[in-house]
Each structure stands twice: as structure tokens, then as C-alpha cells.
Structure 1
């Protein structure tokens, strides 16, 4: 036995010596120098596999031109070094006996004309780092045939895409994606990433772009916008390419979608379309807003000069809809049938730029919902509302957008912008509401609602911009004129039956049957002037003037079903709102330090007329003048080496919404009566913001931090009066000061192993103080929200990828008037996505989304796992076709759950939505574009 133990010990010692003498990993190091033997700091260094040039590791040289790859697996490699203005250096690296392979000094030669061919042949490095710009060679990052640009971006080091398609690069949100430097279906990043094929792309460039105003004036304002540019392969600029998909499934599910693109050096043309009944509401999350008929607050017209603080226009979300073109993609609650289609055309030369697009979408959405809401009153009283509701909404929208830019000469530029929208639809809404007092199981009230609405809306925005650069460098002038027109028409029939138990008859109306006719036109004319004067090489003044005149009218005619006018609910209202602002801003800009301080004088003039009808003689007139000083300051510091620090302070003034100013009674919900208030004042908000961003292109480590604070003066809130007998709530908008919000965010990302795995961590807090009067008693609601999240990207090979993410949210809510109802809400989500390449051109993918919602105070605890999986095969020698079998919600657990607490209530909603089904789909990629095609035109 002792001999066996001795022999075993000898064998273990021998094996240990063998492994110690022949390590499986080693280090590779060297020094990059130029032809004059000077060291080359911050050159890009890459380690590639010889067989297919797959990127194994990468980094940058330090200040002394030195680099080192540690603990590299012993194998043959290609080492490539690139630097702007030099021929890329390439050398074969083989394993050595020792632990370190010192390559010594590696000399790069400057580019000469006669060496350009050599450069072209050797420049296809997987990535190049030039300052704050990273350029990826798309061919070096393998994705399955038929993949979209979104799939390609997932493979790039330093880039993350969440389950909704939102893009982060170097730790920051990507604001814009362009194709060959041109916009694609507007400015939403998802338009290109979801609709263009990965194999059409030769390069991806990620960089910090300047703001539009900085580009126009030539004066850097220090603001950066993370941008991705997709550069097309030459072959895809000489013909058409696209994709079409048809699918059929169980439960009569079906989908048809496709896109076609035709690009060249000057022109881009794309069309796309879809039809489905699987809750894909178009190609945008903005389509969801169309269900509610909402209006985007700002149209991004680039026509308001001066610092961004000052007046903000908020429009009535009940009567208006978005003028922007939707472009994302997402499942929503309920059941929807959707049709959409659009076209995009761009023409771009050095002097003339023209872009246009048209988009149509139609959606029918069915929503069946159960909700529970508890309202807290003073003296520890409360009441609970249980509601079963059903909504059937049909929405149709046309959108068109045009932009023309002409460089008249080297000093003058003219820009013309037009946006238009037409929409119509119908909504049928049925609801049963039951109210219980103080936790009782006996009903206090019951209301049955049956409403039907028809609506039409039209919106037009026309903008003219003129920019002039003087011969003196830095001196600029710009002028803009804008005209907006919006009109909404609606007819709503309202029927409700009210029952009040244990209270005198007549306490509330037993039945309501009425028809509401509403016409709401709006006109807005505004203009801006900007003059930039260089005070010295480092200082600039920016003087601006803003003017706007908005005229609104609302004609609301409420009748009984017999056609008799109800004067108490009818109303005519018109309003003129004039705004003038004059200010100046002094900016210091030198060596990456950008500091500005500005002050503006702002004047509001408000004229309003109110009457029961348009032809009434008893008109109530309101006239009001409000003056305010608007300060603004900002600091943006480029700390070099891709580190940025910034801080801002602004004061914003926003006018009340039209629906809040109208002195009318809205009884569309007989248990919640809304009354307007024509005496509302504009709201002022003081905002402070500080942030820091860092990205190390050598290690691909990034960090992003921000802290923000807001304080509201004359905030518009809805004071509530609850009738103690009927529990009917009457809400009136009122001004109040003291609402606050404090938020913070920290994001940190780093590669666990370069090109193979990346981990991103984030944490955030949001602490808010909300004020509201309940039966004339001030209630202060404090919401303390804490979030922690992570994302793990594993891309070890082109045959397997795995993405995991999680977000853990806790909200503590405290009420001042009813502390017994204080509560803690948990909302957690976990997600995972896996893709596997199997033999014979077969691929498997799956996606799991696990949601946890918990509120112990009300005994609410929901765990909802949603699992999706698909198996697909690539067909044909050209790999143009795909057949796919997909299963959605395989565990049959999908149900829409929402819970939240705000002001004086807590609410929980459960919505029926699309559950388990299977689909078989066929996709054909129109990729057969030959490099031999030499067409000068398109047709």
C-alpha cells in the first residue's frame, strides 16, 4: 500500500513538473515605432486567428508605444497594428518555449501614394480605434445568414442591445443611426438596425457626433450625441436587396412583412410593409401612443434657437396624435391586428440634400382588463374600486415628412421642413366599476359604462431655416419661421347606469345618456433669430430672440340623445398665447473646456374667452401677463482619453394643458368628475444635472454616472374632493409648489474576456415628493425607488451566443395623511436569450422573460415566465431562404401585470393578452446582387 502511495506521489510530482515546464499559455508583447524610431502611443493592436482572421484579443499601445497580451493560449496568431496615416503592420506570431514572446520593436511605415494598394490589401482589420471613433470591419464578426444589422451589432465588442432593440455603445445610449451618413426613416435608431440585412454592411462606425446647432454655427457647444454609421458594401449600392417573410400559425395567427432597398452613392430608396394579428403593432413603440391618440410634445424641428431652457409646449394628450414616424417594434398588451407600410427616399450631394418618407399604419386593439385601485383619504379612511373593462379601438394614421437643404453658396444655407399627419378611428369602451368602503365586502357604489367615440385629426408643421456664415470666422446668423396647424374633431356617445347602495335616492344621477361633439382647431406661428459673434479665439456670444403666437379654440356641444343641448356641460373657448424671449449666452471654448452662462427675459401674454356656446353673449374674458428671468449655465469638459465631465442648470416654464384650462365639466366617468380651471399659472421647474462618462478603448471598460435634481413651482396637480356619501371624486387642476425629484444612475461595463464576454452593471435611485390636496387636506406622497441591473453578453463563437439580463426594482411609498397604507412594491425582471448553430444549416434560438411583481401590503405576488423558442434552417446554395418553426409563450403564462403607487392611491392591473401559439414561417432574402452590375442609374 505504501509503495502505491509513493508511486502516486511520484506521478503527481512528475505531472506537475511537466505542466510547470511547458505552460499552456504565454504572454505576447512588443513596442510600436515609426520609421524614425519614435514610439507610437495609442496605436490599435489586434491578435487574430490565422485561418479566418477572427479577433482573439485587442488593445492599444501605452504612452511609450508598448503593448502586452497576457495569458494567451499557446497557438499560432496574426498580430496586426494600425495607426492613422500609417500602413497597417502585420506579423505572424508562433508559440515559444518560454512564458513570454517578446517581439521587440515593430516598425510602421507612413502611407505613400505608391503604397496605397498595399494599404488596401492589409487594412481589413477587425477594428480600428481613432480617438473617440471605433470602426468595426463587419466581415470579422460572424452572424447566421439572413441576420439583421441588430444581430450584427450584438457581436461587436463595446455594444449592447436590449430585448426591445435599444442600443448602447461604450456605456451610452445611441441616439442616431445613419446609413452611409444619411438618415433612414427618420432619426430612430431601430429603423435601420431592424430592417437592413447584416450582409449588406462593410463597416460600422461609432463616434460622438456634434449637436445640430454646433454643426450649423461652427461653434462647439460641448454636447455630444452617440451615433452609429453603417457603411454599405459596394455591391449593395448597385442593385436592390430586401427580405420578405410569410407565416401561418395556430389559433389563426398570421404574419406577412417585407422590405426592399435600393441605394447608390447619391440616393437611397426603401419600402417596407407588414400585416399581422400577433400584437406586432407596426415597427414602432410609438404606435402604442396612437391607441391613446397622444401628441408628441416636440417635433425636433431644429428651429428654436438659444439655450434649451425656457418655454415648453404641452398639448392635450386626449385629442392629438404623434406627427413623428414610428420605427421600433414590440409586443403590447391585449390583442391587436395591424397593417403598416411606408417608403423612404433620400437624395444627397455636397450642395443638395433631400429626404422624404411616408408611413401608414392601421391597428385594431382589443383590451380586456381587471384592475383594483385603493384611494387613501384622511382619518385613515379609504375606498377600493374594482373594475372590469373592455375596449375595442381602431386607429388609422397617415404620416409624411419632407426635408430639403440647399447650400446656396459657401456662406448661405436654406432648409425647408414639412411634416404632416392625418388620423381617424373609433373606440368602444365598456366598464363595470364596483366601489367598497374601508375594506368592506359590501358594495357601496356600482357603475356600468358604455361609451363609443369617433375621432379625426390633422396636423401640419412647416418650417423654414436660413443660415448665414460671415467671412469672419465664427460669426454666424440664423433665422427660422414655423407654422403649425392642428385640428381634432370627435363625436362621443356616452351611456352609464349608476347605482348607490345605502344612500338617499338622487344622490348621484341614476342614468346618463348624452352625445358630445367636439371641434378643436389650433394654429401656431413662431420665429427665432440667432447671432453668434466671436469675442476672441476662446469666447463667443450667442444672442437670440424667440417669438410665438398660438391660437386655440374648443367648441364642445353636449346633447341628450333626443338632440337637446345640455348647457351645463357644453362650452366654447378660444385662447391667444403670445410668447417673447430675448437672451444672450457667453461661451468659453478652449482645449476641450466648454463653459457657458446665459440669461433671458421671458414674457407670456394670455388672452382667453369662455362661454357656454360660440354665439353666447355672456362671455368671460381672462387676460394675464407673466414675466420671468430664465437663467441657464452649462459646463462640458473633455478630460482627454475618452473621459467627459458635464453639468447643467436650467429653468423651464411650461404652460398648462388646454383640457386643464377649460372651465367645463367632464363626466365621461360618473365616479370621477373632472373640472377645468382657467386661472392656472404656468409651471416653472428648476433642474440641475451633473454627469461623467469614461471609455477606455484599450480595455473597452466604460463608466457612466449622472445625478439630477428638479424642483417645481406652480406645478399643476389634480386636487380631489371625495363625497363622503357617494364616494364620487371631483378633481380640479390647481397650482402648487414644492414637488421635488432627485435621481441618480451609475453604469459600469467591462469585458470578462475580450471578444468573448462582457458584463455591464447598473444601479439607480429616484426619490420623489408629490403633493396633492384630498378633501382640502394636503397629502405628501414620497416614492423612493431603487434599481439594480446587469447584462451579460457571451459570444464565444459564431456558433453560440448567450445574453442574460436582470433588473431589480424596489419602491417604498409613504403617505402623510394615511400612514397605515405605507407600502413596498417589488418589480423584478430577468431575461435570457440563446442562439445555437447546429449542423446542416440548422439554428436554434430561445428567449426567456421572467417577471416578478410583489406587494405584501395587499397580498399581491405574481411570477410570470414568458418563454419563446424557434428552430430554423437556411435553404439553398446561395443561402437566401429560411424556414422557421416558432413557439410563443410556451409555458402559457402571459398576462399583463402592472402595479404602481402615486399621490394618494395604489393600483394593480391585469390585462388579457396573446398567449401560447405556434407559427411556421418562410423568409426569402433578395440578396443576389452581382458585383458585375455597372448601372449608372436605377432603372
Structure 2
């Protein structure tokens, strides 16, 4: 590997050397001045192709108004200089005999009113740089017909998009995408980029936006959100557009999906539907996010004011039980059949904002998995667990959301939010588990055959009121929230246990039982916030938080003939009351933002539990905890697109009621759980510091961050392993000393502007994890190191190549059993290539090569996943597409997971969808607004 990297470095160095010495190249330089002969620093300078204004190179003038493009190919160019308030200057540049073409002083004229029309016509430069805002002219960056906004963004200098569609701009993650300045598509960047057509966009603007809290209160909190704004062409602002795709493939694979979007300056309407058996779930970002609309997380929608409190609620929900529409994003392992449909409507004006949606999804997932796990004990011994499992899960969910925001007047705003969910499903689970002592002697075996039937309902209602006083910066906000959640389940458990070297009766040999569970939960909470300007530079933020949570769980375990099993049944209810009062002082002046705060936090926790709801001998749990919570943050704008920030916080939280109950849960006879009523509250100290730099002249970016956390009274599980049966009994207990240190560094720069960009990053994460094994403390130290790169090549609109790689190494060391120390390698390489062929034919391919290695267990797995497609655009308007695709052409796809922590190491292999081919037809709908009106849609 080292020899290959050295050879690559030598070749790149040689190429650059030859490139620099090429006599067919020259440099272009000059000085920008105004009509008064004063130099113009930091003006945008662009070198364009004369025939179509394609961007060749760009930069900014220095503080003396000078610029220079070095080693450009000898050819005819169009030079353009732009500066706010001045008519864009442009001139033809022709090759010269010498090595430098000095254009001398180039004069820009100020804009006069009568020249405004001329300015508009000549201002269509490929990009403009205004402070920390970069504006791209979409027409200057060519993409194939039918391309999405994501394809367009890939072509923009300073923008990178990985294989999952995550966006980075100027070295930072893009947090929000708006359309014409409005959050019609939510704050997930993939919402618009994967579904809006590139041809609908006239401009792309990238800038650092203030946080929603700063906008609401008028007090800058120093937090910046990298934002992309997409400006639509006029003919797309009032029309409708969408896409329908139908495909059929080998191995009985098929898909059908479609969406339609229509919006103007005030309204958005979207519908979506899909069905497939190719592991693309109905909750993926690719097919759904464009439709969420302005249901994005606006500041204050969660109705918790003040700095982070660390309050945690333990609901033990499955993923399907989230009350908002899930947006998983990635294809999961196994095999799935998915259906989804939904509708969304948004209304957005200056004073009234209304959002609503309904969404239905159904997924059937089949997962066949092999797992090997080795558990290390405190006497240099270990035991292994091999498991073959099969799961068939069907889940259905209906979700609806409403959000209404009314600006009553310039001082008062009211927000009402409602979310609801109804879900049900079934799960069949079969498993064969085998336990081996010292890796060779079989100790016991368990065959499990379980069936679960579940359903749940949830409602969340939120009211928010904000008031701005006449005094600038003075604000008041209040919130009231009510949540209701109820879940019911019936779980049929059947298992057969065999012991090979243990006395008969050590553990139950057969289990055949039914578990009925009913769990209602109520939550009421309220928050108050008052912001007071102490001076032009200082502000105080005072807040109060209150919440009362009541929940109950009734667990009734019976035999198949209806007899109650008291030893496994239980009932508990609890009240959790939380009060917090705090204040912080913020300093904000000339880019320096400093905040320090302190809060007094009080928990009151009461609970009752017994074997049944009708019992007379309830046991009680009472907790009354007071804590002081400090917090601090610093952010500094170092000017010229350089920022540094730091944060510190302390979090305090109560143990879960499940961990506090001294009741044995033996639903898994080989892994028993028992609570501990003497648990103390947990707390953690967390610190973070980061730096970011972006040079808009060279498009070079750099960022780094360091974070650290230290845990006090952390809840861990003391594991007692029976030396005869290998049955593990886990009991929670408190311990201090667990900690984590992490760092990350990234650097990116264009090799040739608009043609190739290189990014490299690296990070380290070092953690110390504590656990008791048979009452003996074991310290597990994990060291994770990662180095990654990304090379984007976009030499023309006919060919693009995006490559990436990551090297990951994990070192795990155990204090009790050092012979089991190990090193895990997880590496990956990726490449995506797109080629435009004659006759509107296009070829694209994607390679993802994954490498897993663990010498300690002789594990060495290489998994190359290759995808390729050939498609042709049809019709004069290029609205239709016929595509032939091949997935996992090498037939190597398998799910691999390696994990080492605490006192065990595990490896999993999951069967998943492998090679198949699909023929699909796509039709892009555009310009159908008149037909829609005739049919009465509008």
C-alpha cells in the first residue's frame, strides 16, 4: 500500500512539473480600478470561454486590486470583472508570444440608473462572490437533460456531494436548502436536491445563515448554518413538475414510483407514491424528502427554551414509533417489499404559514443473519456464542402533521403544531444460539421461535407564543406541550434449551408463554423565555422549564392455556417532575459572541411497582435530585471567512424506570436483567472546539474540531456469568471515569479550478469504557483512526469522475484479558463515473469496494459492489428516459458488521439483495399547469 501511494505521489508530481513547463501555456494578469483610478480590492475576476461563457478559472483581486491567472492554456478568452455597485467589466484576451499577458489597469464604471438595463444583460457571469456569499449562474454549468439539482451542484466549484447525497460547501456540511428563500422543502439538504430538476434553477446561492433562534429573538447567538438557496426560473414558479418511473427486472424485481410538485410564491402542493421490492424503503430521502415541505424543525417547535438541559426520556420505542415521518435514507440489509403514499400542502405568506401532510408506509423486511460473538471473562477465559437467525417483520404506519404560524402584528407571533401517528405490525423471529466454552466445548443450545403483534397511537400538540417588545432585542416566549402515547403488544415466546455439561434444572428447558403489554404515557410541559438587552453589546436570557411525565406499563405473562405467570409479570407506574430555572449572559460585538450561563435543575421521581396491577404490596421508588448546570460558548468571526468556536456543557439525567425496578426479566433465559433501585443520577461534562476557513479566491477550505466528554455516575451493567450454565445476569450500577476524546481535520482545494478538486480528511477517536465482569472492573480502551480522501474530476460536461476512499483502523485493548486485544480494519474505496455519448445516450457506473479484516480471528473479507446503467433520452423535449441498469454486477453484496467494545467482540453477516438487472421508463412532467386547472385542481 505504501509503495502504491508513493508511486501515485511521484506521478502526480511529475504531471504537475510537465504541466508547469508546457510552453503552450501563459499567465494573464491585471489591476482593477474605478473611474477615479482607485484600486478595487476583492473584486470577482473570471476567465470564460468566448463561445458559451463556460467558466475556465476564477479568483479575486488582492488588496491592491491585482489579479493573475497562471499557466492557462494559450487560447482566446473572455475576461470579466464584477463588483457591487459597478457595471461588470469584460474584455477579450488573446494569446501573446511571451509567457505573460499583462492587461494593465482595467477600469470599472459605477452603475447609473439609465444603465441598469445594460447591467442586467451583461451581469450573467458564471459566479459572483459577495462577502461570504457565492452566487452561481446555473446556465454556465452544463448537465444532461433530465438531471436533478444534485447533478448541478456536483459541477459547482467548492461543492462536494458524497455517494449518499450529503452536501458539503466550502468544507462545511450544508444544513438547509431553501427555494426562492422559503423552506418549502424542509431543512434536510436532500429534500430539494434529489427531486427538483436542474433545468428549473436559474441561480444557486451559498452563504452562512443565522440560526432560527437568532432570527426569532433578534440576538445573534454566534451559530451559523451553511445554507443553499435555489432560485427558480419564472416559468417554473407557477407551473407543475414531477416524475413517474416504472421498472421491471430479473429475479422478479420491480418498482413503480412517482411524484408531482406544484408551487408558486405562496403555495406548494405535492403528492407521492411508490412500491418496490428492491430494498428502497418508503421512508427513504431519495423518494420522500421533497415532499415534507415547511414541516422542517423551526426554532422553538420543540418548545424547550434555554441551553441544553440533558433531560432524557426513556420510552424504549422502536424506529416505527417516532411521531414524525421517518427519513431513513439508506437501503437496509436483507430483503424488503415497500409501499408508500402521501400528500402535502404548504401555504406561506409574510403573515401566515400553514403546513400539512399525510403519509402512509408499509414495509415487509426479511433478514437472515449469522453472528459470532466472543465474551471475555476476568480469568483470561472466554466463551463464544454463534447465532443463526431469521426475521420477518411487517410494519404499517399512518402519520399526519399540521403546523400553523400567524404573525399577529409586528410584535406578536402564534404557532400551533399537531402531529399524530397510528401504527401496527407483526414480527416473526427464529433463532438458533449455540454456546461454546473456551471456543471448543459446547455448553448449551437454545432454539427460539417468537411471534409479536403490536400497535400504537401517538399524538403531540404544541402551542408557542412569541412577543417582541418595542425595545430592540427584548423578547418573551412561552410554550405549552401535551404528548400522548399508548402501545399494546402481544408477544408469543417459544424456546427450547439444551444443556450439555450442566446439572438438569439449572435453567428452564422449555418456555412457551404469551406476554401481553399495555403502556400508556402522558407528558405535559411548558417553557418560558425572556431576553433583555443590557446594552448594545450585552444581553441576558432567562428561562424556566417545567415538565410532568406520567407512564404505566402493565405486563401480563401467561401460559398458552391462560394461566398467569406471576414471576414474569409486573406492573409499574411513575411520575417524573422536572423544574429548571436558569439565566445566561451573552456578549455580541464585531463578530465576537460569548455566552455563559447557570441553571438550577430539580428532578422529582416517584414510582410504584408490583407483580400485578391489583396487588396490595406495591414497592415504591422515590428520587429527589438537585443539580447546578453550567454552560458556556464562544464563537469568533475572524473575518475573511474564518471562524473559531468552543462550547462547554454539563448534562444531568435520571436512570430509566426499567433500570430502577428490582424485578427479574427472564424473557431471554440465557440473558437475565434485574433492576437496581439504588441508582444515582448520571452526569457528563462535554467540551468542544472547532475552526473553519474558506478562501473564496482560491476555493481552499480547512476545518478541524476537538471534543471531549467525561462521565460521572454513568449507568453500566455489571455482568455475572454463571461458570456452569454460562447464563449472564446483568444488573445496572453507577461508575465514574468513562471518557471519550475525538478530533477531526479536513483540507480541500481545487487542483484545476472548475476541472478537479481534491479533499483529504482524518480523525481520531479514543474512548475509555468501564464495565464489571463478575464484580471485577474491566477497562476497555478503543482507539479509532480514519483517513479519507475525495477527488472530483469534471473536465467537461460529457465526462465526470468522482472518487473517494477511507481507511479505518480500530485498536481494542482489555484490562482483564489482554490476550484478546485486537485490531480491526474497515476500509472502503468508491468511484462514480458519468459519460455522455452521441444520440442523447448516457452511461453511468458506481463502484463501492469494502474491505474488512481482523487478524485476531482470521477474518478477511473483500466486497466490491458495482452498479452500471445505460440510458437514452427520448423525444424532442427530452422528457422521457429509457434505462437499463445492472445492480451488484459482481454478485458480492453481503452485509458485514464488526464491533469490539466493553467485554466482547462480534461479527455479523447478513444476506441481502444481490445481482439483478432492471429495465425502467421515466417520464418527466412539466408544463401541465393548464390541464391541472381545467380538471379543477386549482
TM-score range, shorter chain: over 0.9
Please report how far the alpha carbon of residue 785 of structure 1 lies from its aligned counterpart in structure 2 after TM superposition. Answer: 0.5
Please report how far the alpha carbon of residue 920 of structure 1 lies from its aligned counterpart in structure 2 after TM superposition. Answer: 0.3
Could you list the runs of 5+ residues in structure 1 that have no partner in the other structure?
1-18, 289-295
Instruction: After superposition, give the CA deviation of every residue in 1:864-909 in whole Å (9 maximum; x if it has no partner).
Output: 1011111111111111111011111111111111111010000000
Residue 840 of structure 2 is matched in structure 1 by 841
Preserved CA contact (<8 Å) 1:420 1:459? yes
Instruction: After superposition, give the CA deviation of every residue in 1:825-859 in whole Å (9 maximum; x if it has no partner).
Output: 00011111100011111111111111110000000
Q: Residue 321 of structure 2 aligns to a residue in which SS? A: coil
Matched, 1:674 2:673: yes
In structure 2, how many angstroms separate the alpha carbons of the residues matched to 1:766 and 1:648?
Answer: 18
Moved more, 677-686 or 233-242: 677-686
Residue 438 of structure 1 is matched in structure 2 by 438
Residue 332 of structure 2 is matched in structure 1 by 332
CA, structure 1 residues 843+593, in 2 after alignment: closer, same or farther (shift >3 Å)?
same
CA, structure 1 residues 313+586, in 2 after alignment: closer, same or farther (shift >3 Å)?
same
Q: Residue 679 of structure 2 aligns to a residue in which SS? A: coil
Preserved CA contact (<8 Å) 2:187 2:297? no
Write the mapping of 1:37-186 to structure 2, written as runs, cut at 5 A: 37-186=37-186
Preserved CA contact (<8 Å) 2:177 2:185? no
Q: Residue 111 of structure 2 aligns to a residue in which SS? A: coil
In structure 2, how many angstroms separate the alpha carbons of the residues matched to 1:854 and 1:353?
Answer: 53
Instruction: After superposition, give the CA deviation of every residue in 1:790-841 in whole Å (9 maximum; x if it has no partner).
Output: 0111111100000111111100001111111000000011111100011111
Residue 469 of structure 2 is matched in structure 1 by 470
Residue 458 of structure 2 is matched in structure 1 by 459
Please report how far the alpha carbon of residue 169 of structure 1 lies from its aligned counterpart in structure 2 after TM superposition. Answer: 1.0
Q: Residue 227 of structure 2 aligns to a residue in which SS? A: strand
CA, structure 1 residues 545+22, in 2 after alignment: closer, same or farther (shift >3 Å)?
closer
Preserved CA contact (<8 Å) 2:239 2:926? no
Write the mapping of 1:868-883 to structure 2, written as runs, cut at 5 A: 868-883=867-882
Preserved CA contact (<8 Å) 1:191 1:327? no
CA, structure 1 residues 503+898, in 2 after alignment: closer, same or farther (shift >3 Å)?
same
In structure 2, how many angstroms separate the alpha carbons of the residues matched to 1:357 and 1:643?
Answer: 40
Q: Residue 614 of structure 1 aligns to a residue in which SS? A: coil
CA, structure 1 residues 22+277, in 2 after alignment: closer, same or farther (shift >3 Å)?
closer
Residue 12 of structure 1 is matched in structure 2 by none
Residue 6 of structure 2 is matched in structure 1 by none
Q: Residue 856 of structure 2 aligns to a residue in which SS? A: helix
Preserved CA contact (<8 Å) 1:498 1:509? yes
Preserved CA contact (<8 Å) 1:185 1:325? no
Q: Residue 465 of structure 1 aligns to a residue in which SS? A: strand
CA, structure 1 residues 33+556, in 2 after alignment: closer, same or farther (shift >3 Å)?
same
Preserved CA contact (<8 Å) 1:235 1:931? no
Residue 485 of structure 2 is matched in structure 1 by 486
TM-score (norm 1): 0.94
Residue 304 of structure 1 is matched in structure 2 by 304
In structure 1, how many angstroms separate the alpha carbons of the residues matched to 2:642 and 2:491?
Answer: 56
Moved more, 790-799 or 22-31: 22-31
In structure 2, how many angstroms separate the alpha carbons of the residues matched to 1:322 and 1:116?
Answer: 53
In structure 2, how many angstroms separate the alpha carbons of the residues matched to 1:460 and 1:533?
Answer: 35
In structure 1, how many angstroms separate the alpha carbons of the residues matched to 2:60 and 2:197?
Answer: 31
Please report how far the alpha carbon of residue 21 of structure 1 lies from its aligned counterpart in structure 2 after TM superposition. Answer: 13
Please report how far the alpha carbon of residue 319 of structure 1 lies from its aligned counterpart in structure 2 after TM superposition. Answer: 8.5
In structure 1, how many angstroms separate the alpha carbons of the residues matched to 2:656 and 2:138?
Answer: 48
Matched, 1:499 2:524: no
Residue 595 of structure 1 is matched in structure 2 by 594
In structure 1, how many angstroms separate the alpha carbons of the residues matched to 2:212 and 2:111?
Answer: 34
Instruction: After superposition, give the CA deviation of every residue in 1:271-329 in whole Å (9 maximum; x if it has no partner).
Output: 222111000112427999xxxxxxx9999834211112442434314587222323463
Write the mapping of 1:181-580 to structure 2, written as runs, cut at 5 A: 181-284=181-284, 301-318=301-318, 321-327=321-327, 329-440=329-440, 442-580=441-579
In structure 2, how many angstroms separate the alpha carbons of the residues matched to 1:21 and 1:769?
Answer: 53
In structure 2, how many angstroms separate the alpha carbons of the residues matched to 1:248 and 1:371?
Answer: 34
In structure 1, how many angstroms separate the alpha carbons of the residues matched to 2:588 and 2:634?
Answer: 10
CA, structure 1 residues 799+619, in 2 after alignment: closer, same or farther (shift >3 Å)?
same
Residue 693 of structure 1 is matched in structure 2 by 692
TM-score (norm 2): 0.94
Count of residue correspondences:
912
Please report how far the alpha carbon of residue 635 of structure 1 lies from its aligned counterpart in structure 2 after TM superposition. Answer: 0.5
Please report how far the alpha carbon of residue 633 of structure 1 lies from its aligned counterpart in structure 2 after TM superposition. Answer: 0.6
In structure 1, how many angstroms separate the alpha carbons of the residues matched to 2:102 and 2:516?
Answer: 83
Matched, 1:769 2:764: no
CA, structure 1 residues 304+605, in 2 after alignment: closer, same or farther (shift >3 Å)?
same
In structure 2, how many angstroms separate the alpha carbons of the residues matched to 1:513 and 1:171?
Answer: 57
In structure 2, how many angstroms separate the alpha carbons of the residues matched to 1:929 and 1:756?
Answer: 37
In structure 2, how many angstroms separate the alpha carbons of the residues matched to 1:299 and 1:430?
Answer: 45
In structure 2, how many angstroms separate the alpha carbons of the residues matched to 1:931 and 1:648?
Answer: 54
Please report how far the alpha carbon of residue 152 of structure 1 lies from its aligned counterpart in structure 2 after TM superposition. Answer: 1.3
Preserved CA contact (<8 Å) 2:212 2:298? no
Please report how far the alpha carbon of residue 25 of structure 1 lies from its aligned counterpart in structure 2 after TM superposition. Answer: 1.3
Preserved CA contact (<8 Å) 2:544 2:579? yes
Preserved CA contact (<8 Å) 2:178 2:185? no
Residue 637 of structure 1 is matched in structure 2 by 636
In structure 1, how many angstroms separate the alpha carbons of the residues matched to 2:24 and 2:222?
Answer: 49
Instruction: After superposition, give the CA deviation of every residue in 1:225-284 in whole Å (9 maximum; x if it has no partner).
Output: 111122211111121111111000000000111111111111111222211100011242
Please report how far the alpha carbon of residue 42 of structure 1 lies from its aligned counterpart in structure 2 after TM superposition. Answer: 1.4
CA, structure 1 residues 233+319, in 2 after alignment: closer, same or farther (shift >3 Å)?
closer
Please report how far the alpha carbon of residue 933 of structure 1 lies from its aligned counterpart in structure 2 after TM superposition. Answer: 12
Q: Residue 553 of structure 1 aligns to a residue in which SS? A: strand
Preserved CA contact (<8 Å) 2:375 2:905? yes
Residue 703 of structure 1 is matched in structure 2 by 702
Instruction: After superposition, give the CA deviation of every residue in 1:682-707 in whole Å (9 maximum; x if it has no partner).
Output: 32110000000000011010011000
In structure 2, how many angstroms separate the alpha carbons of the residues matched to 1:341 and 1:207?
Answer: 34
Write the mapping of 1:531-930 to structure 2, written as runs, cut at 5 A: 531-928=530-927
Please report how far the alpha carbon of residue 607 of structure 1 lies from its aligned counterpart in structure 2 after TM superposition. Answer: 0.9
Instruction: After superposition, give the CA deviation of every residue in 1:90-128 in whole Å (9 maximum; x if it has no partner).
Output: 222222222222222222233333222112211211111
Residue 31 of structure 1 is matched in structure 2 by 31
CA, structure 1 residues 499+660, in 2 after alignment: closer, same or farther (shift >3 Å)?
same
Q: Residue 375 of structure 2 aligns to a residue in which SS? A: strand
In structure 2, how many angstroms separate the alpha carbons of the residues matched to 1:735 and 1:870?
Answer: 55
Preserved CA contact (<8 Å) 1:874 1:882? yes
Preserved CA contact (<8 Å) 2:240 2:929? no
Moved more, 191-200 or 578-587: 191-200
In structure 1, how many angstroms separate the alpha carbons of the residues matched to 2:20 and 2:185?
Answer: 60
Preserved CA contact (<8 Å) 1:335 1:366? yes
In structure 2, how many angstroms separate the alpha carbons of the residues matched to 1:212 and 1:265?
Answer: 21
CA RMSD of aligned residues (A): 2.3
In structure 1, how many angstroms separate the alpha carbons of the residues matched to 2:264 and 2:194?
Answer: 20
Could you list the runs of 5+ residues in structure 2 that have no partner in the other structure?
1-18, 289-295
Q: Residue 345 of structure 2 aligns to a residue in which SS? A: strand
